[in-house]
A and B are shown apart, each in its own frame.
Chain A
Amino acid sequence: MNFKQMISPAKRLGAVMTGLVLLGTGLSAQAATDEYLLTVTRPNQLHVIDTKTDKLLRSCDVPGIFGNGGIAASPDGKIAYVMTNKWEDVYGFNINDCKIVFSMKQSSKGVQVKSMISMTVSADGKELYTVQNPVKLHKDHFETLQPRLAVYKTADGMNAKPVRTYPVDRRITKLGFIEKTGEVILGGADVKAIDPTNGKIRTLAKLQNWDRSPEGWVPPDAFAMHTLGEHIGEYIMPYFTIKWNGAPGDMEKAEFLWGMTKVDTKTGEVTSGEVLPFEFIVFNWLTDPNDEDIVYGSFNQLSKHNIKEGKTLAVQPMPHTYYNINMLQDGSKIYVGGTSSDISVHDPKTLKKIGSIQLSGDMSTSDLRIAKVQR
């Protein structure tokens, strides 16, 4: 809501960037895109970072109590939708001036509604989607209600109300949007897609309900707190599974594996399967824009893998845990963030640290997203 006063060089840069954003139309080449790194820190601020200089441009105060720090950027990169108030409310910020241009509260009197990081925006930027988990608060007891996809019109501005809702599965985490089909990707026990005009759901990839025998496989633990892959138009749902080469439970012969369901968010094309042996915990993965076989992961280490060959190529130990990872669309820099108060910048070739961005508070579970703004 308020423009946070930053140190003067950053402020000047911010002014320059604003000018560029206002100018930009019509150029579609990669070189004509400015990329801004977005994240949220405690107590509750949205930060906008210029990826050219890796300097903080501005910090916007987010109303309400810190939530999960979920962020979805509008396709034109100008608006950052931030989930706040303990996973209940969403505010849309103009990233140029911190002005709030959109707001909605999901809970109402008598119904508590939480979204577990489930938020995305349509390819035309006109609709915002959340998956809502409502619980009705009766006088002396609670009643769990069916989760639903809620569709908001971004043009409705402040205090927006859902224009449509459709029932969906329980346990949905991150959402994506498929440009070609106009569907919202629902990442849950299985990866599904819902048509937000009529609520029709189809399965993109079966995970927990896959057709494999429990004698041979442990149903996958598919979970992702953070939405990743927007730098190349990809949605990744990672999963962990165990392949029993002997009797179920025989750990000696078992293989511990990472799998991934990937959705091309332009075409809707889906690939799903095991890609790497499980060597250590990775919280989030993303694909190298210049080589689809190369993925990077973050947690207690930054790591680089070839998923075609199932090999770990490099591991960079980190000074603390970083939940989150993102990179520029030209593949020139990796950003590792989340958890603590610094974003670590790395060279994708060597994984060596090449920079650091210090923030004013801890990122905790917050997103680390990239807003792409056409010049």
Chain B
Amino acid sequence: MKNHSMKRVLRFGGAVAFLGFASTVSAIEGPQVIKENCLLCHSETGKAEAPFSRISQQRKTPEGWQMTINRMKSQRGLKLKPEDERVLIKYLADTQGLAPSETADLRYVLEREPNVIEADIPEHVAGTCTGCHSSARSGLQRRTADEWEKLVHFHMGQVPSIEYLAGHRDRPWFQIAVNETSVKLGEGYPLVTKAWDDWKAAPKAMLNGDWVMSGYMPDKGEFSASVSVMPNKKDEYILLLNGHYADGSKLSGSGSAKVFAGYEWRGAVVIDGRKMRQVFAASEDGKTMTGRMFLKNDDVIGGAIVAKKATKAPVVVAVSPTYIKQGSTQVLKITGANLSEKISLGKGIKVVGVEKKTPDYMLVKVTASAKAAVGNRTLTVGSTATDSAVVVYDSVARVDITPSDSIARIGGNGGPVAKQKSIYRAIGFAAGSDGKPGTEDDIKLGYMPATWSLKPFDAVAEEEHDLKYAGKINSQGIFTPGDAGLNPERKMSTNNVGNLTVVGTVTEGGAAVAGEAHLLVTVQDYVKELIQ
């Protein structure tokens, strides 16, 4: 198996092969790195279960540990060899990481998904922590009660103005943070949990093998790919991607990945000349990976990924589009592996035939009768059934734009911070049985092609000519903000900020249905962190 993999690597490209083979097994172990580098300030506790002060009392994601080490280097004088740093992060994320269930709801912040409006923010975190951090930032840490308290004191020393900030100074922020918030964080996010104990003890699946992936890139659209994942050294893989973009053009790429805590997949790949990052979570059985892939240097440009391990039976990862209009003929792209041509979508939908078949997808022409029942359909491909794979609908009655509320940031123009774009997609809905859009029984159809435009959000934006200065949106729903810096053409020479409405219009049979989203174009973010 290994030899076979190596041959394939060599065949597919020297650079990747070099990346894979160049790394040698490090002789040094995590605890040794701590002993040699950290004990000037940290102390050994003498307790086997928590040997180092301030270190052994916390659990974090790989990004969380990376940030801690970055801070120790920039603020506390830590000097660490790059290879020792890699060993330390791997050791800490593996032995003091988070269980899959502990990260499941908060992965967006690891995936660097832009414009997430967080839900279910704990009351004690809102207002105390969320003025500066995402709620996920604390939600992705586990500490002892004493450690949470020390974290509050750390903030007071590190950011002395913290209790004077707007939104903090109208209450006794420090007293609340140290006496109430830290206690509740200790209760909600304790160091010791059954989830982590169970996960640590559970066998971890190897992730090598053949996978099929479906994803989205804002500037390329939906894509599909076969992914060969080959083992390198422990918890490290080499991967090769071969697939197709939405227009049928070929996609190819390669790279490497490291897995932390048995499921946290972090990949670095080059796809068609573009450097990209993968932040995925493997399912506990090791058969599915979900997450986000984005451009290394422009992390807004990315999209959700689903990958499934290929099996002898057909594997279906995605269907696009996810809707069929009554009385219409439609070509569906079914992304998957080992796909059978025995396809069914239930009563009222006739499978006309398979138009194209590749290792990663097939195109299937289907016709829905005018009387086909409105609602979700199960797709059967050979022996594999996928529930709610497509929906039959009568007409598009409503369009929502996602994200509904968003920000982009001016940048570039010779300044140190690049522009932060924002991206939009249109989601169509049918009216449902009551015939009225905007009600609970609306039927979600999925992403639809749309045309994009901008308008001023309000009268002030109109008066300030925000539309002229704040940026442009292209046909793919990608908004690029204006240049950074003062603009003498504007009132008070202000920079190219603005308050806009993004309009996405879906046209179907001559009828246009539009949806709107709010876009605030604001100033640069000078403190961009791995976990915002």
- A-side residues, CB < 8 A to B, are 87, 112, 114, 116, 133, 135, 137, 139-144, 170-171, 173, 189, 208, 219-223, 300, 317-321
Distance in angstroms from B499 CB to nearest chain A CB is: 16
Please provide the chain B residues from 149 to 174 with a CB less than 8 Å away from any CB of chain A in the complex. 150, 152-154, 156-158, 160-161, 163-164, 166, 169-174
B27 to chain A minimum Cβ distance, whole angstroms, is 28
* Shortest CB distance A146–B (Å): 11
Residue of B nearest to A223 (CB): B169
Q: Is B160 a contact partner of A135 (Cβ separation < 8 A)? A: yes
Q: Are A144 and B493 in contact (CB under 8 A)?
A: no
B48 touches A (CB below 8 Å): no
CB of B124 closer than 8 Å to a CB of A: no
Q: Does B527 contact A (CB under 8 A)?
A: no
Q: Which of A114, A142, A173, A317 contacts B154 (CB 8 A)?
A: A142
Q: Which residues of B contact A321 (CB under 8 A)?
A: 492
**Which listed residue, B54, B171, B173, B175, touches A141 by the CB 8 Å rule?**
B54
User: Measured between C-beta atoms, what is the minimum distance from A303 to chain B in Å?
Assistant: 15
Is B487 an interface residue, CB under 8 A from the partner? Answer: no
Bound form: Cα–Cα A220–B166 in Å:
12
Q: Do residues B41 and A135 form an inter-chain contact, with CB atoms below 8 A?
A: no
**What are 25 A-B pairs at a CB distance below 8 A?**
A112-B160, A114-B160, A116-B160, A116-B161, A116-B164, A133-B160, A135-B157, A139-B42, A140-B54, A141-B150, A141-B154, A142-B153, A142-B156, A144-B156, A144-B157, A144-B178, A171-B163, A171-B169, A171-B173, A208-B170, A219-B170, A221-B170, A223-B166, A318-B492, A319-B492
Residues of A within 8 A of B171 (CB): 208, 219
Q: How many residues of B contact A (CB 8 A)?
A: 27
Other A-B pairs, 16, CB within 8 Å; known A135-B153, A219-B171? A133-B160, A141-B54, A141-B154, A142-B157, A144-B152, A144-B157, A144-B174, A170-B175, A171-B164, A171-B173, A173-B164, A208-B170, A219-B170, A223-B164, A319-B492, A319-B493
Q: Output the nearest chain B residue to A209 by Cβ-Cβ distance.
A: B172
Let me know if A220 and B170 touch, CB within 8 A: yes
Q: How far is the CB of A222 from chain B (nearest CB, A)?
A: 8
Give 5 closest A-B pairs by Cβ, nearest first: A142-B157, A135-B157, A114-B160, A144-B156, A142-B153
Min CB gap B321→A, angstroms: 41
CB of B488, distance to nearest CB on chain A (Å): 10
B169 contacts across to A, CB distance below 8 A = 171, 189, 221-223
Tell me the smallest distance from the CB of A47 to a CB of chain B, in Å.
24
User: B43 within 8 Å of A by Cβ?
Assistant: yes
Closest to A112 in B: B157
Decide yes or no whether B53 CB sits under 8 A from chain A.
yes
Expressed in whole angstroms, the Cα–Cα distance for A87 and B164 within the complex equals: 14
Given that A112-B157, A137-B157, A142-B157 are known contacts, is A170 also in contact with B172, CB under 8 Å in the complex?
A: yes
Q: What separation, in Å, do the CA atoms of A141 and B157 have in the docked complex?
A: 9
- In terms of DSSP, what is the predominant structure of the interface of chain B? helix
Chain A contact residues: over half helix, strand or loop, or mixed? loop
B458 to chain A, nearest CB (A): 16
A-B interface contact total, Cβ < 8 Å? 70
Cα distance A318–B492 when bound, in Å?
Answer: 7
Whether B160 and A140, one on each chain, are in contact in the complex, defined by CB atoms closer than 8 angstroms, is: no
Shortest beta-carbon distance from B47 to chain A in Å: 16
Chain B residues with CB below 8 A from A319, complex form = 492-493
CB distance from A65 to the nearest CB of B (A): 14
Please indicate the chain A residues that have their CB under 8 angstroms from the CB of B170 in the complex: 208, 219-221
List of A residues within 8 angstroms of B154 by Cβ:
141-142
Task: Name the A residues within 8 Å of B157 (CB-CB).
Answer: 112, 135, 137, 142, 144
- Residues on the B chain within 8 Å of A144, using CB: 152-153, 156-157, 174, 178
Q: With A and B bound together, what is the CA distance between A170 and B175 in angstroms?
A: 9
Q: Which of A87, A116, A133, A141 contacts B153 (CB 8 A)?
A: A141
**A142 CA to B170 CA in the complex, in Å?**
24
Most buried by A among B156, B163, B166, B171: B156
Say whether A140 contacts B42, CB under 8 Å. yes
User: Contact between B174 and A170 (Cβ–Cβ < 8 Å)?
Assistant: yes
Residue of A nearest to B147 (CB): A141
Contact in complex: B492, A135 (CB < 8 Å):
no
Residues on the A chain within 8 Å of B41, using CB = 139-140
Whether A171 lies near B172 (C-beta < 8 A) is yes
Closest Cβ neighbor of A173 among chain B residues: B164
CB distance from A118 to the nearest CB of B (A): 11
Q: Which residue of B lies closest to A301 (CB)?
A: B492
Q: CB-defined interface of B37-64 with A at 8 Å, one 1/0 digit per residue? A: 0000111000000000110000000000
Residue of A nearest to B178 (CB): A144
Contacts of B153 in A (CB 8 A): 135, 141-144
Q: Please, which residues of chain A bring their CB within 8 A of the CB of B493?
A: 319-320
Q: What separation, in Å, do the CA atoms of A300 and B464 have in the docked complex?
A: 15
Chain A residues closer than 8 Å to B163, beta-carbon distance: 170-171
CB distance from A272 to the nearest CB of B (A): 17
Residues in A whose Cβ lies below 8 Å from that of B53: 140
Q: Which residues of A contact B492 (CB under 8 A)?
A: 300, 317-321
Most central of A140, A189, A319 by chain B CB within 10 Å: A140
A264 to B171: give the CA distance in the assembly, Å.
Answer: 27
Within 8 A of A (CB), among B345-388: none
Q: Considering the chains assembled together, what is the distance between the CA atoms of A224 and B284 in angstroms? A: 54
Most chain A CB atoms below 10 A, which of B158, B166, B169: B169
Chain B residues contacting A222 (CB-CB under 8 Å) are 169
Q: How far is the CA of A335 from the CA of B431 in the complex (A)?
A: 62
B68 to chain A minimum Cβ distance, whole angstroms, is 12
Once the chains bind, are B166 and A221 in contact (CB under 8 Å)? Answer: yes
Residues of A within 8 A of B43 (CB): 139-140
**Cα distance A319–B152 in the bound complex, in angstroms:** 40
Residues of B within 8 A of A133 (CB): 160
Residues of B within 8 A of A300 (CB): 492
A200 to chain B, nearest CB (A): 22
For B486, the closest partner residue in chain A by CB is: A320
Instruction: Please indicate which of the listed interface residues B42, B153, B178 has the most CB atoms of chain A within 10 Å of its own CB.
Output: B153
Q: Are B160 and A87 in contact (CB under 8 A)?
A: yes
By a CB distance below 8 angstroms, the chain B residues around A142 are 150, 153-154, 156-158
Which of A144, A300, A320 is packed against the most chain B CB atoms within 10 Å? A144
Q: Which residues of A contact B174 (CB under 8 A)?
A: 144, 170
**CA distance in complex: A180, B115 (Å):** 56
Bound form: Cα–Cα A114–B172 in Å: 18
**B-side contacts of A143, CB under 8 Å:** 153
Question: How far, in angstroms, from A175 to B503 measured CA to CA in the complex?
Answer: 51
Contact B172 A189 (CB under 8 A): yes
Q: Mark B377-406, 1 if CB is under 8 A from A, else 0.
A: 000000000000000000000000000000
